[in-house]
Structure 1
Amino acid sequence: MKINLLLLTIFGLNLSFSYAQTQETPPPEYIKTIQFKGSTAENQLPIIPLGDPITIEFDALNGDEDDFYYKIKYYNRDWTPSVLIQTEYMDGFDNQRIREYENSFNTYQIFSHYRLTIPNDQTRGLKISGNYMLFIYNGDNELMFSQKFMIYEKLADVGIVLKRARDISNIEEKQRVELTVASNRIQFNNPTQTVNAVIIQNNNLKTAITDVKPQYVLGNQLVYKYDSETSFWAGNEYLFFENKDVRGANNNIQFIDLQDLYHNYLFTNQSRANQPYTYYPDINGNYVINNIDASDPSIEADYVWVHFSLLADENLKNKDIHVYGTFNNYAIEDLTRMTYDASKNIFTGSILLKQGFYNYKYVAVDSNGSIDENLISGNFWQTENNYKVLVYYRDLGARYDRIIGVNEGTSINISN
């Protein structure tokens, strides 16, 4: 066995099966509003074309103007550590100080807004497509947070069709993704081993369907027409609120209060699982920072305590209820946990958020940590969801997984 492992190492074959998947590290409470910005996306799941600049922004609310440093690592498609060394995927160096920051202006909450742009003088660029992780450290070399991002090449065309599920038992509650992948620049060799698709609903990597193999191969076109293998629970439209004018009660804000900071109290929500489906536009769990009176919302948008409340059904009282969305990268943590108020029969919770427009929903978490995303909101096949597809390719004998194609589709025109 030792000899076999040595031979595998010598010939550079992938040993990722021996490593655990690397998870993101959430930030401490004083670091907020982490945003990746590329040429086409803002605040969303960072999927960026190879060669395009990347900007990462975040706020530190301690007011100390701390020094922060960044590192970048490369990963296999399943987020296990890659065998590549840094010079193979990066031109230049990391472990550099983030030099660009500004202090907040005309806000009750004092914060420093940090901005890192790649390429820069030290990190001149990322050389290959695939999975990356950004790590942010403080001046004592303590990890503050980490976040995944993806770089892709435009080498394959990806077609997406959204359809209802075929299984009659959940035809009213699920949506199915059909794919085609074709390329006139790559000759797919043994695509059932070398090509893997990942399907992501509403920018949430935690619920992504991974390792999807081609079902049929027609020449150099790969066809995916699965049923259960590429089906998602449809969920419901996200709830939302808007506080771009911090002094007024805007969309879905019942009233406001000014103490040390502004407090926004939202209208009490209730379970929608057993109610009829109603369409209204959302941004699929995302958020947008905005201040109607500011010329630069990144430093002039204030932080506000947002108070959430949910009417308690009997089936929720023995579960942990959390507020859920991209505002904290869909993390389940103490700051999103709600408290049951027996006297009013509601769950309440408060989160410090930067001014803007936010989508959110409520999820239930069992004692074993499993998340039921749609116990409270329900599942309706009519729901408008966003689906992104990433196609990974590792040719026979290659040492890393390239992302050769990306596309996205919406279920607004879903068909049977």
Structure 2
Amino acid sequence: MTRSTFLLPFLLLVSICFGQVEYEIDPPFNIKTVSFVQNQKNVLPFFRLGEVFEIQFDDLYGNEADYYYTLTQCSYDWTPTGLTKNEYLNGIDNQRIMNYQNSYNTLQQYSHYKQAFPNKFNTIIKSGNYIIKIFNDEQELVFSRRFVLYEEQVSVALDIRRARNFDAIQEKQNMELAIDYGDRILQNPTQNVKVTFFQNGNWKNAIYNVKPQYTLGTQLIYKYNTETQFWGGNECYTIDTSNLRTSNNSVAKVSAGDIYNSHLYINYARKNNPYTYFPDFNGNFVIQSLNSENQEIESDYSWVYFTLEAPDFFDRNNIYITGMFNNYAMSEENKLVYNKKNGLYEKAILIKQGYTNYQYTVADNNNKINYKDAVDGNYYQTENNYPAIVYYRGNNARYDKVIGIANANSESIRN
């Protein structure tokens, strides 16, 4: 056997193990309200290396099932790095999640799980992209989530401006970024530094692989016209189910069955209307039950009934209800159904009690999102949150460090 013949199977195995992109896997129906939590608030999954954070979720079966987690470090493109576990993890993973409680005084039973990092079993010791995978006791993958750990080694300035091209000036928001690495030595920074831009922490419309437009001393400058633009969208709708027994300005009526049913007011497509500002959480949600002490286990679930009037979209596209509460998942569970009798789109989704932001997302049968023809239009005035994450890999390095992060809000958008 020749040397090349011997190496071929090995190289194929390496490509399979380390070349596959780690996408997020959506959970089954019984797993709800998956979120990253810090200081008891749902947050975007970007954390300083060494900071304490948690991942939490509910299991509607409520049978105290055993769940386990693993941690995998990924490169900038979300393929696993070539590092061994002990190179980025101090300790061992594949641990059972031991912190869980059953719901208390709720119509919908569930078991609430939370896992903190770092913990007594493991500590992540390198910055970078990571994916956490949750398995059941039969080692079947239940769901996975991405998160990022960063260091602050460079100065990052991010500004939000209106689009410069006239065909999008009313609808898009443009990122302008400056990375100042000061006296830090970066090898070939125009090639080895990479940036990812996010809108409200949504992985599905993130912008990757944008090179610096030019350098200015120790600064890398990004001032593109189109490469760093996002569709502005519109302000999110907000559901208030903090009191499941009463109606309010978002819930038209409440009915009771095995659990509560919250019927929302009809939403009308806003794409042809003037922009109107009203506060939202930029897609986030807050778990809250009035008169409850422990929101995590005393907040109930209800069937939330959505109704949308959007005649322009009939028989043309799929429309989904998305937000951080369901990780912007475009699945059948979140897909509106057209009712021919009343000409409206309808859907009922099981959602945990509190304040929940949502939006309508238009996509084709391949889940390619149609941002231009959004149900509620696109407006440059829309208030959005924009994180930018800076990666760096030296010439001989084996993984991508995250050396900086910036956050900006389009509320301060400039021309």
TM-score by length of 2: 0.94
User: Which of 301, 304, 307 does residue 302 from structure 2 map onto?
Assistant: 304
The structural deviation recorded for 1:16 is 10
1:156 is matched by which residue type in structure 2? V
Deviations 1:197-234 (Å, cap 9, x if unpaired)? 11000110110001121111122111111110101111
2:167 is matched by which residue type in structure 1? S
Query: What are structure 1's unaligned runs of at least 5 residues?
Result: none
Deviations 1:138-178 (Å, cap 9, x if unpaired)? 11111110000100001111101110111111111111000
Separation in structure 2 between the aligned mates of residue 32 and residue 223 of structure 1, nearest angstrom: 41
Equivalent residue for 1:167? 165
Equivalent residue for 1:63? 62
2:72 is matched by which residue type in structure 1? K
Equivalent residue for 1:110? 109
Separation in structure 1 between the aligned mates of residue 398 and residue 296 of structure 2, nearest angstrom: 40
Separation in structure 2 between the aligned mates of residue 390 and residue 283 of structure 1, nearest angstrom: 21
Equivalent residue for 1:148? 146
User: Which of 275, 291, 294 does residue 273 from structure 2 map onto?
Assistant: 275
Separation in structure 2 between the aligned mates of residue 15 and residue 404 of structure 1, nearest angstrom: 27
Quick check: 1:347 aligned with 2:345?
yes
SS of the residue corresponding to residue 357 of structure 1 reads strand
The structural deviation recorded for 1:185 is 5.6
List 4+ stretches of structure 1 deviating above 6 A.
Answer: 14-18
Separation in structure 2 between the aligned mates of residue 321 and residue 224 of structure 1, nearest angstrom: 34
| Cα gap change, 1:155 to 1:17, in 2 (>3 Å) | farther
Separation in structure 2 between the aligned mates of residue 16 and residue 213 of structure 1, nearest angstrom: 28
SS of the residue corresponding to residue 109 of structure 1 reads coil
Separation in structure 1 between the aligned mates of residue 183 and residue 255 of structure 2, nearest angstrom: 59
2:262 is matched by which residue type in structure 1? N
Deviations 1:256-295 (Å, cap 9, x if unpaired)? 0111000000000011111111011111111111111111
Query: Given that residues 151 and 404 in structure 2 are in contact (C-alpha distance below 8 angstroms), is that contact kept between their aligned partners in structure 1?
Result: yes
Equivalent residue for 2:187? 189
The structural deviation recorded for 1:413 is 1.6
Equivalent residue for 1:201? 199
| Cα gap change, 1:171 to 1:150, in 2 (>3 Å) | same
Separation in structure 2 between the aligned mates of residue 18 and residue 294 of structure 1, nearest angstrom: 47
Query: Given that residues 242 and 358 in structure 1 are in contact (C-alpha distance below 8 angstroms), is that contact kept between their aligned partners in structure 2?
Result: yes
The structural deviation recorded for 1:43 is 2.3
Quick check: 1:214 aligned with 2:212?
yes
Separation in structure 2 between the aligned mates of residue 67 and residue 31 of structure 1, nearest angstrom: 13
Separation in structure 1 between the aligned mates of residue 313 and residue 321 of structure 2, nearest angstrom: 17
Separation in structure 1 between the aligned mates of residue 17 and residue 404 of structure 2, nearest angstrom: 25
Separation in structure 1 between the aligned mates of residue 201 and residue 290 of structure 2, nearest angstrom: 27
Deviations 1:36-76 (Å, cap 9, x if unpaired)? 1235x832321000011221111111021101111111100
The structural deviation recorded for 1:368 is 3.3
- Number of equivalenced pairs: 408
Query: Given that residues 103 and 109 in structure 2 are in contact (C-alpha distance below 8 angstroms), is that contact kept between their aligned partners in structure 1?
Result: yes
Separation in structure 1 between the aligned mates of residue 115 and residue 215 of structure 2, nearest angstrom: 43
Identify which range, 260-269 or 374-383, moves more after superposition.
374-383
SS of the residue corresponding to residue 41 of structure 2 reads coil
Quick check: 1:99 aligned with 2:64?
no
Quick check: 1:28 aligned with 2:28?
yes
Equivalent residue for 1:136? 134
| Overall identity of the aligned pairs, in % | 41
SS of the residue corresponding to residue 302 of structure 2 reads strand
Quick check: 1:389 aligned with 2:378?
no
Equivalent residue for 1:232? 230
Equivalent residue for 2:333? 335
Query: Given that residues 195 and 391 in structure 1 are in contact (C-alpha distance below 8 angstroms), is that contact kept between their aligned partners in structure 2?
Result: yes
Query: Given that residues 217 and 223 in structure 1 are in contact (C-alpha distance below 8 angstroms), is that contact kept between their aligned partners in structure 2?
Result: yes
Equivalent residue for 2:404? 405
TM-score by length of 1: 0.94
Separation in structure 2 between the aligned mates of residue 214 and residue 17 of structure 1, nearest angstrom: 31
Query: Given that residues 188 and 220 in structure 1 are in contact (C-alpha distance below 8 angstroms), is that contact kept between their aligned partners in structure 2?
Result: no
Separation in structure 1 between the aligned mates of residue 138 and residue 394 of structure 2, nearest angstrom: 41
Separation in structure 2 between the aligned mates of residue 359 and residue 256 of structure 1, nearest angstrom: 19
Equivalent residue for 1:81? 80
Query: Given that residues 59 and 112 in structure 1 are in contact (C-alpha distance below 8 angstroms), is that contact kept between their aligned partners in structure 2?
Result: yes
